[in-house]
Amino acid sequence: MFKGYISNTIGRIQWTIHTQNSFLIPYLEQIEGTANNTLLKILREDRYKVIGEFEITHANNTETYLVKVYKYPHLSQKIKYLFKQTRAFNEFKTTYIAAMKGIPVEVPVAYGEQKGFLSKKSYLVIRKIKHSRTLREFFRSATSLKERMDILRKFGKLAKDAHRAGIKQDDFSLDNFLVYNDEIFGEKLILIDFERVSIQTMSLREKHRVWYLAKLNRAKQYFTNTERLRFLLSYTDGDFSYCKRLARQIEMVTIHIQIKDAKKFRKQCVNENRKFSIFKNNKFYGYYRKNYHIETLIKLLDTIGKTDLDIIYTNQFQIFHFTENFSTGLNYRNITRVWMHANALFALRINVPVPACFFKNNSSKEWFLISEVPENCTSLDKYIDSCSDKSPVMPALSMFVKQISPFGNLSKYFNTKDLLVQVNENKRLKCYLGNYNSFNINHLSTQKNRTVNTNAIKQLLQYTAIPTSLF
């Protein structure tokens, strides 16, 4: 079925492996049991998937291979996959078909299936490309203008070719493209992670293209407007009028996707899943974001001890401290909504501190919401007091209003302590919403919200030394 691949049964697993990688057969039998596995180094594990890697030397060449192990823990899943192909097979097949269509990908070297009545696992083995990084990592790093321009051109072309090839990738993001230096072709860009991909025979219709490009547009904070234009010009083969029309459509759909993300995150943040977890010990109970170490978060709470402060800043973290005295009628349900609202705002991709965790003290009616604040941030009132030239803050405030207005408006209690100002290395300013409660998500038009937000900022500036005429 797949050219260049052979079948081999090892233990209880039926493997399909590329002939050039048949030397891996002795190692594949060690992959079956992930528990107490001496071959695999486990990188990530949850109820549904294990990701690991192993390194071997063959013919004086050392290579690292990534292994995905798909599990089906629930009875409903086991029954469903009696009549469906396994996730490993689907990922292998779609990657293989994409390669046949001329899309640069890294085709897995092997996939395996462990089948039995109501018990099934599947395995995928992929060569790990040396010195590679995702596009997100590339654009975050300090790269030259020439390098960025070259990658943006290749990125636009690859996205266009993928859509013409009929590739529908649900996780269409910067993390699904890999950049590395090829010995022959120089800097190369490939499409990766076909776990949630389907491929149709015809090229994608424009509405589907716009949808996937809008998903990509959620990462626009990594690009300047000029860079986004370069990407779209490459995507549209230099058709400037089509590029402008496409940009307007993408912006509208991006807002729609971000609103959907906010609703999803609002529910996810109070449940155990891939992004969030539930923590409980003798002292605290609550929720936290998995990319933060729980030990670090608990240590932060232990260091502040007993305090009457409502907001504490420590080690680049902002801690909101809620007590019975904070608000009348305060209870666990009401305060949990603040955590849910914080994660909804973060999912909208407006400038806010990253909500890290929300904990309740079991022995007292105290709640803590911890969020990570960007570097070099200070509240607007402190910035105004410490800075003689206040004019640079006006463009930052204007950009802040533009960013938040598609999603809602500032509350009437919004003040200078609720707004954080960040100064970067180039002395350019960026504004962040420091207090999650000072913003209300609504369904009003962008124009109506912009009017309300502009008036809120002007009212704020009346209490400062900055003339409102500059805004």
Note the pLDDT tens digit of each residue in 425-444. Answer: 667 889 999 999 999 999 99
State pLDDT tens for residues 273-304.
889 999 999 889 999 999 999 999 988 888 77
Residue 371 CB partners (closer than 8 Å, separation 6+): 317, 318, 320, 342, 352, 353, 354, 355, 356
* pLDDT exceeds 60 at position 119: yes
Helices 240-268/206-217 angle, 10° precision:
60
* pLDDT exceeds 70 at position 329: no
Could you tell me which residue, 128 or 221, shows the higher pLDDT?
128
**Mean pLDDT (whole number) for 384-395:** 78
pTM for this entry: 0.83
Predicted local confidence at residue 331, as pLDDT: 62
Q: Which of 87, 113, 107 is nearest to 195 (CA)?
A: 87
Number of H helices, E strands in the chain: 13, 23
